[in-house]
Structure 1
């Protein structure tokens, strides 16, 4: 009887140990899930804040004055021959100047080409995901970077009076025509992905925020060059947020 009791005790203890191991494993897994949720929530918040900061700088009065000049982010591409060109630059939050024409790039689709042209104005404007390139991140933590792009579109709106000033006739008063412009802000966290910096940089440099193919240009529907920046990042499973805001530039007299 004594031997049988000792054997039963051993079996009970083994079952208890197994139960503790199972419960411990479940607790660890639950903790990891909670940590991942918290990390994702924090990452999304950081990405959103960086995109909002970019738009806040676009709308600042002193930046708008500079942006409308001939060397500004709007003025440089406001010509009739510059429609559908994207002015691109990396938002460097730690630096005093929001936009510098010497550190901006142009990307657009030339008629007859199979992919967008990205180096006509240099490539210094595109963000670089390499951690050693600290000036491309919005802060010293090297966590988030935001690439900004803007373009004037030549596609006519459904409303023929879109953007027109109420109660005015631009032909009579000699106003400049209103100019709708789109501003894109794409924020990424390179440290939260297994994608290489080369692949991330390729998305920034070789893809437009809104690909517009010229009439008469034939490009396969499944061509990689057709993909936008965000579609390229999504294929790499890179955490990102993308926001676009439309503005209308109008001439006014007070």
Structure 2
């Protein structure tokens, strides 16, 4: 038996049109998904970059704050004595003749003593007055990181710029009551604190060490340019510090009993 079937004219063409429409919708959905993924990836990179920038800024600023607090602290404090003594990073300039043009490089190690110039590199002219392996931060040394998490490390460079910064009226006059011109003269220093995140870079430890050995005060060929060329996140904070030995006094006012004995406090007795 032979049966003839008849189909509406153009049905095969309709099937093809539906297929094309479905394919177009799939392409659009894929494009929307790709754009969403790329936007999410960009937002994540921006957030990560902002976090890295904040961490590096805090790390660079912490060493400047530490030095400022130490210099302004009590003169009898151990850290103040270390930083202002003959082997201190400021005392080296103040108490040693001919050290005005020296440049001191040292790795900021807050978990250990870092004010001693014996653990630094002292550059004088085109040579080095003092050079040792501990002067520059080394990513392979856990003690060179600012914390036990081994994330950031900070290299500091100090220059004495008193000759240009203090060229003003009466700059030749001694300050305070100290008759010694060395300790009564105001000294101005520039501190260049450079922090890096070695784990986020693709350079080997030798490259990072070599970058720290470059001059931080110049842009072309300096520390930051070297770190940037090696894709190492870095942040530099520059601060000017004025160090001067001044003496001030205050009257002691007795407001009551001390420990119930009726006598003045030891502070008043000392004054």
CA contact (8 A) 1:77 1:151 kept: no
Residues 229-254 of structure 1, C-alpha deviations (whole Å, 9 max, x = no match): 22332333432111111112212223
Equivalent position to 2:100, from 83, 89, 102: 83
CA contact (8 A) 2:159 2:191 kept: yes
The answer to which structure, 1 or 2, has the higher relative contact order (CA under 8 A, 6+ apart) is 1
Residues 177-202 of structure 1, C-alpha deviations (whole Å, 9 max, x = no match): 22111222111112223333322211
* Post-superposition offset of 1:172: 9.5
Equivalent position to 1:20, from 26, 29, 35: 29
Equivalent in the alignment of 1:92: 109
Q: Over the residues paired in the alignment, what is the CA RMSD in angstroms?
A: 2.8
Alignment partner of 1:174 is 2:179? yes
Equivalent position to 1:156, from 150, 164, 186: 164
Equivalent in the alignment of 2:121: 105
* TM value normalised by structure 1: 0.78
Structure 2: runs of 5+ lacking an equivalent = 1-9, 249-271
In the aligned structure 1, how far is the partner of 2:217 from the partner of 2:235?
15
Alignment partner of 1:127 is 2:137? yes
* Post-superposition offset of 1:52: 1.4
Equivalent in the alignment of 1:190: 198
For 1:18-97, list aligned pairs within 5 A.
18-60=27-69, 61=73, 62=77, 63-78=79-94, 79-93=96-110, 95-97=111-113
* Post-superposition offset of 1:23: 0.7
In the aligned structure 2, how far is the partner of 1:228 from the partner of 1:64?
31
Q: CA distance change for structure 1 residues 98 and 123 in 2, over 3 Å: closer, same or farther?
A: closer
- Aligned pair count reads 228
* Post-superposition offset of 1:64: 3.2
CA contact (8 A) 1:127 1:201 kept: yes
CA contact (8 A) 2:103 2:122 kept: yes
Q: CA distance change for structure 1 residues 175 and 102 in 2, over 3 Å: closer, same or farther?
A: closer
For 1:221-240, list aligned pairs within 5 A.
227-240=221-234
Equivalent in the alignment of 2:245: 251
* TM value normalised by structure 2: 0.73
Equivalent position to 2:145, from 119, 137, 143: 137
Equivalent in the alignment of 2:253: none
Q: CA distance change for structure 1 residues 163 and 182 in 2, over 3 Å: closer, same or farther?
A: farther
* Post-superposition offset of 1:118: 4.7
